[in-house]
Amino acid sequence: MSDTYVVKERADQLVEAAEKLFAAGVMSHSGHANLSARLDGERLLLTPGFVHGLRPEDLATVSFDGHVLEGELQSVSSEIIAMHSAVYRARPHVGAIIHTHSPSATAFAVAHRPLPCRTEPMLRFGQAEEVPVVPWGPRGSDVSVRGIADVLEQRPTTAAALLANHGLLVFGPDAAATAHLVVAIEESAEAEIAAAAIGGAVDFPPGAQEAVRAAIARVAS
């Protein structure tokens, strides 16, 4: 595939993912988010500082080391290139990253509480374990980026992290899968908070993950 085709394909995927997040109602009041897609081992596509009404031509191509190669970025987006790059470097299989301030997930981030995996959508969409918390650091700072890298090293199978006092960071093979997991995590966080009022959430029984995988395999076969 030509580079032009890859860029267009990834851009279209990010626009569709942003639309899905708004349609699902998982965004904060401000609608703040940043989305990216890997282009290769050195470049990524990044949203420009807004995602509501995002168009493919709004996206910028940037290098992992922070240089804008095509398009334009607001300074608020330039700050987070290092955060996205750290994930792509740590996880070669990751093709897309979404960061949001989804309200219920952010409540867990503000409380510095890992989000347990107690809902089936989290199992189905790639987070069959609790979502860990990354210690707080100023947005886009070396402290924040090192914290993310440390958690990814400590938790090699997690597909998401809560950024303490900040929000949610989710990553997956492509933009669509990543958006599905953002929605699943936000719904799970809402359910955890609601369940606390009626006695608290309960863990899955042993073997739940295997049962879900078997059900998915039966449908796919």
Active site residues: 79
* Residue 77: CB atoms within 10 Å: 21
The alpha-carbon radius of gyration of the chain (Å, integer) is 17
Phi and psi at residue 120, to the nearest 5°: -65, -35
* Residue 183: CB atoms within 10 Å: 19
- Buried b / exposed e over 85-117, threshold 16 CB at 10 Å, is bbbbebbeebbbbbbbbbbbbbbbbeeebbbbb
Structure tokens at 197: 């009022």
